[in-house]
Amino acid sequence: MAVDNAAVALLERARSLAADELEANPADLVVENGGLQVAGTPAKRVEWSELARIAARRSEVLDATASFEASAPTFPFGAQVAVVEVDRETGNVTMLRLVGADDAGTIINPDIFEGQLHGGFAQGVAQALYEEVRYDEEGNLQTSSFADYAIVAATEMPSFELIDSQTTTPYNSLGVKGVGESGTIGSTPAVQNAVVDALSHLGIRHIDMPATPERVWRALRDSSRPA
């Protein structure tokens, strides 16, 4: 919202400068192709770079400052569902599907929004299945490099499925909410719960994260032992 308010203020300042330069009414100017022009008259236009030079000639700076304070907090929300396959011989877990609906209100840039969720999904899956900080008995870090600390790769991920949901908030004029950590919040428990659910018929109710092949294999072995 602060960026939006500053951008609107900057545009109004630029519109005033362009109107003086073009000898036009500011209300008749529209933003087109990197500059401002008189609506319906492309020949009467001024580029943003020229507006900056005009401001400099007037010993001015083409800038704007704005701040924003919300009257109440906004809450993104969502749900995620994971489908996994567990190899009972090796304990290896394969991700088959991850479906998520993360509602962050009005989406301004869909590509950035989806990229944020895809990265969050992958990070959440990695927390559930791969990434682990391990120390030996003397407190020495054993996963000190990417050779030891398992980072998930794109080849280990399915194509994520996103469900569009946009519930605007009344606490700002854009209706936007946050999306920063949304992808990671639901994906980790969804994947972990899917692994446990796949083994629940064997009496397995819990596996520590990350659910590595060794941990899953040990849980399978222990479940097969007579009580």
What 8-state DSSP symbol labels residue 180?
T
Per the prediction, the chain carries an average pLDDT of: 92
Does 22 share its domain with 104? no
pLDDT digits (tens, 9 = 90+) for 206-223: 999 999 999 999 999 998
Does 97 share its domain with 176? yes
Helix (H) or strand (E) holding 90: none
pLDDT digits (tens, 9 = 90+) for 162-192: 999 999 999 999 999 999 888 999 999 999 9
pLDDT, position 60: 87
Closest to 98 in 3D by CA, of 55, 142, 152: 152
Does 131 share its domain with 206? yes
Does 21 share its domain with 100? no
Residue 27 counted as domain residue: yes
CA–CA distance, 81 with 162 (Å, rounded to integer) = 11
- CATH label of the domain that carries residue 125: 3.30.365.10
pLDDT, position 224: 78
Does 121 share its domain with 32? no
Residue with tokens 């120390």: 135
Closest to 214 in 3D by CA, of 132, 125, 121, 122: 132
Does 50 share its domain with 159? no
Does 134 share its domain with 92? yes
Does 41 share its domain with 124? no
Residue 29 counted as domain residue: yes
Residue 184 counted as domain residue: yes
* Single-letter code of the amino acid located at 226: P
CA–CA distance, 185 with 79 (Å, rounded to integer) = 9
* Mean pLDDT in residue range 113-138: 94
Domain count, the chain: 2
Residue 227 has pLDDT above 60, yes or no: no
CA–CA distance, 224 with 216 (Å, rounded to integer) = 13
Model confidence pTM above 0.85? no
Residue 66 counted as domain residue: no
Residue 62 counted as domain residue: no
**What is the percentage of the chain residues whose pLDDT exceeds 90?**
77
Q: Which distant-in-sequence residues (6+ apart) come within 8 Å of 15 by Cβ?
A: 26, 29, 36
Closest to 101 in 3D by CA, of 123, 119, 83, 121: 121
Residue 91 counted as domain residue: yes
Residue 81 has pLDDT above 90, yes or no: yes
Q: How far is CA 97 from each of CA 78, 82, 157, 172, rounded to the nearest angstrom?
A: 17, 6, 9, 35
Does 49 share its domain with 152? no
Q: Count of residues for the chain?
A: 227
Does 198 share its domain with 88? yes
Residue 64 counted as domain residue: no
* Mean pLDDT in residue range 92-111: 95
Task: Say what angle helices 2-22 and 48-57 make with each other, to 10 degrees.
Answer: 80
Domain that holds residue 123: 77-224
Residue 161 counted as domain residue: yes
Does 8 share its domain with 86? no
Q: Where does residue 158 rank: exposed (0-12), middle (13-18), buried (19+ CB within 10 A)?
A: middle
pLDDT, position 40: 86
SS3 content of the chain, % helix, strand, coil (to 5): 40, 20, 40
Does 9 share its domain with 117? no
